[in-house]
Amino acid sequence: MSPHDESASPVRVGVYVCHCGTNIAGTIDVHDVIAFSAALPNVALAREYKYMCSDPGQELIRKDIQEYNLDRIVVAACSPCLHERTFRHATEQGGLNPYYFQMVNVREHDSWVHTDKRAATQKAKDLIRAAVRRVKLHRPLERRRVAIKSEVLVVGGGIAGIHAALTLANAGKHVYLVEREPTIGGHMAQFDKTFPTLDCAACILTPKMTAVKSHPNITLWTLSEVAQVQGYVGNYTVTVRRKPRYVLEDLCIGCLECIEACVYKQAKVPDEFNLGLSKRKPVYISFPQAVPQVVVIDPETCIEFKSGKCKKTCVEVCGERNAIDFQQKEEIKTIEVGTIILATGFEVFDARRIPYYGYGVYPNVYTALEAERLTNASGPTGGEILLRDGRKPKSVGIIHCVGSRDEHTNRYCSRVCCMYSLKLAHLIKERTDAEVYNFYIDMRTAGKAFEEFYNRVAGGGMYLIRGKVADVCPAPNGDGRLMLQVEDTLLGMVRKIPVDLVVLATGLEPQKDAQEVRRLFNIGCSTEGFFLERHPKLAPVNTFTDGIFLAGCCQGPKDIPDTVAQAGAAAAESLALVDAGFVELEPNTAHVLEEVCSGCRTCIPVCPFQAISFVHEKNKAEVNEVLCKGCGTCVAACPSGSMQQNLFEDQEVFEEIGGVLAYA
């Protein structure tokens, strides 16, 4: 089982240390490390280079393998998560098996986290020594090829999910679009106008929504949630829970007569789509352009569900169409897909968490999304900006950074608030001619045509006050207005400004259930709770789980142009996988050394994937390589050492341990 025949000529290792500009070389004495590496047993060549990942850097490896007859490669550079593939590829191009390679992380784990140059240099040496000792034992491995399913699942029907689904469907792939709400459209459908062009959100969104519904390659499931995800890249089995709508989608024609006929003559239930600013009936449609154009019955408030004694005027008026079905049950669907795009969006920051702004206490404090609904022509006020008592405001204060850039709530910038605040200020000014104040910390208008928009609308007679509002309280003269107290940092004085209406520019937060969703799809979250991309720059739509991609605000706050761009990128990445027709899997699976296996079966119950079976005839365990995901738990459990994991064989790890601890 010796991976290298000792009788043959000794292994010749090439060690390469990357400077990464000054990222590594600024902290680690690379010359010293090279001198040290060159003296290690089996090292035939040790070189340094400014940027190993660049083409000349890779070329160096390719040429040296030939010229110096190298048969193992060690590269000390950045994290293997970034460039392991790059250097394995270079090793392969040099004529070696790509797994005759070991990467040493001396940037993220060393030069970037230590300031003591001597200690950092010593750490680099220890890690390189370990890698050289381990790589000697590497065996040639083959990547397994598995056929990939061409269907794609898109989770979330906001603009990101819609755009990704349409892109894939247009490329001829079958897409399942799963949306939790009764309609697709997401937050964008709630907006009035979109910055910086001020085109109406509905005008650009609803045609895409309709296209989703009518596209032959898209299966749209609303009121549905993903319940379970199994499998691996190219072969995911997904269980989707379809909640009952109590209206048969195929039979409802969207005439909305049932809403008119409902025994509730007045709408009494707070309307979710309008954020409670208007009322709806138990049978309703989210908004006039909802897709699918199908009503939905809310069992929580429908009399038939509560008492079973309703006159069911809705069923009467529906007549022969017979679209209403109070008996509808939850449906479980199982689909098989090759890749998954997560576009689950964001949640608006709950303004109640900042009590001194008085949201929920003072009626005329609105969130920005509520203000969007007020300005929207199909919103609860028909596009009029009104106070709760129906009057028009004469002065409006917009407070920026509510739940953003604040160490008590969220430290990050939500990226869209400055721009949408300027937009709302402009729209409010235009429709009410009120005095509009913007209270900002910094005005952040980075984006194509954003600064121009800022200059244009700011010149339109609004007040811009640099300062964080400290308090919102009723005006002391009792005229019903609200008093904003703020330190104007440009004037250097505290100001008290009375306004009729306050708009809180609430930030963007991860969805409340982002953690559960993350577990469901086996991906990670960043510190803020948004889904974690594989690399912030080079793989912004990939996740650490192959075949699962991200689009839109579930990955972090972003505006509509960026969301659509990212959705397109996620669709393209998905296509690149699906169109290849097969996927290559890492070979780090477990295998049994039959001559050592005693058939004790300790390994079988520890495998979470049921990949290990017991072969009675041979009295040995056996690993199904397709099911094995390469965690190595069985290897650690095996008492005889007969279970081994490719790339993480016991002996390889022992060499690594000895390597980091050796003194010379």
User: Cβ closer to other proteins: 22 or 66?
Assistant: 22
Nearest distance, CB of residue 600 and other proteins, angstroms: 16
Q: Which stretch binds other proteins (CB under 8 A): 88-96, 190-198, 216-224, 653-661?
A: 653-661
229 binds other proteins (CB under 8 A): no
126 binds other proteins (CB under 8 A): yes
Neighbour count for residue 602 (Cβ, 10 Å): 14
Q: Which of 526, 602, 613, 624 binds other proteins (CB under 8 A)?
A: 526
Nearest distance, CB of residue 89 and other proteins, angstroms: 20
* CA count, 13 A, side-chain hemisphere, 515: 4
Peptide bond into 474 cis (omega under 30): no
- Which single residue is written with the structure tokens 């001559």? 595
Nearest distance, CB of residue 532 and other proteins, angstroms: 6
User: Cβ closer to other proteins: 129 or 243?
Assistant: 129
| Cα angle: 651, vertex 654, 657; to 5 degrees | 155
Q: Which of 183, 630, 642, 644 binds other proteins (CB under 8 A)?
A: 630
Check if the beta carbon of residue 384 is closer than 8 Å to that of residue 373: no
Check if the beta carbon of residue 571 is closer than 8 Å to that of residue 167: yes
Centroid of chain to Cα 559 = 15
Give the number of residues in contact with other proteins, rule: CB under 8 A: 58
31 binds other proteins (CB under 8 A): no
143 binds other proteins (CB under 8 A): no
In 503-640, which ranges are continuous DSSP H helix? 514-521, 560-580, 603-606, 633-637
- Residues 418-477 binding other proteins (CB under 8 A) are none
Output the DSSP codes for 399-428.
EEEETSS-TTS--S--SSHHHHHHHHHHHH
Q: Which of 105, 183, 286, 367 binds other proteins (CB under 8 A)?
A: 105
User: Cβ closer to other proteins: 448 or 537?
Assistant: 537
Amino acid at site 336: E
Nearest distance, CB of residue 260 and other proteins, angstroms: 48
Which one, of 126, 12, 112, 147, lies nearest residue 69 by Cα? 12
Q: What are phi and psi of 582, to 5 degrees?
A: -145, 165
Dist CA 181 CA 157 (whole Å): 9
Which one, of 443, 427, 453, lies nearest residue 197 by Cα? 453
Indicate the Cα dihedral angle 80, 82, 83, 88, nearest 10°. 60
Which one, of 464, 244, 445, lies nearest residue 332 by Cα? 244
Bridge partner list, 241: 225, 332
Report residue 306 as tokens. Answer: 């509560």
Dist CA 614 CA 598 (whole Å): 11
Nearest distance, CB of residue 123 and other proteins, angstroms: 5
Q: What are phi and psi of 124, to 5 degrees?
A: -60, -40
3-state class of 633 per DSSP? helix
370 binds other proteins (CB under 8 A): no
232 binds other proteins (CB under 8 A): no
Nearest distance, CB of residue 330 and other proteins, angstroms: 25
Q: Which stretch binds other proteins (CB under 8 A): 31-39, 166-174, 352-360, 602-610?
A: 602-610
261 Cβ contact partners less than 8 Å away, ≥ 6 residues apart: 313, 314, 316, 317
Nearest distance, CB of residue 441 and other proteins, angstroms: 23
375 binds other proteins (CB under 8 A): no
522 binds other proteins (CB under 8 A): yes
247 binds other proteins (CB under 8 A): no
User: Cβ closer to other proteins: 32 or 562?
Assistant: 32
Dist CA 370 CA 137 (whole Å): 64
307 binds other proteins (CB under 8 A): no
User: Cβ closer to other proteins: 483 or 525?
Assistant: 525
Dist CA 328 CA 337 (whole Å): 27
Nearest distance, CB of residue 246 and other proteins, angstroms: 35
661 binds other proteins (CB under 8 A): yes
664 binds other proteins (CB under 8 A): yes
User: Cβ closer to other proteins: 277 or 637?
Assistant: 637
Amino acid at site 53: C
Q: Which of 79, 210, 485, 602 binds other proteins (CB under 8 A)?
A: 79
User: Cβ closer to other proteins: 151 or 652?
Assistant: 652
509 binds other proteins (CB under 8 A): no
Nearest distance, CB of residue 88 and other proteins, angstroms: 15
Bridge partner list, 472: 484
538 binds other proteins (CB under 8 A): no
Encoded one letter per residue, x for contact with other proteins by CB under 8 A and - for no contact, window 632-651 reads xx-xxx-------x--x-x-
| Cα angle: 486, vertex 492, 497; to 5 degrees | 30
| Cα angle: 349, vertex 350, 355; to 5 degrees | 125
360 binds other proteins (CB under 8 A): no
556 binds other proteins (CB under 8 A): no
Encoded one letter per residue, x for contact with other proteins by CB under 8 A and - for no contact, window 384-413 reads ------------------------------
Q: Applying CB under 8 A, which residues contact other proteins? A: 79-81, 105, 107-110, 112-116, 118-120, 122-123, 126-127, 130, 519, 522, 524-529, 532, 536, 544-545, 588, 606, 608-609, 629-633, 635-637, 645, 648, 650, 653-654, 656-658, 660-664
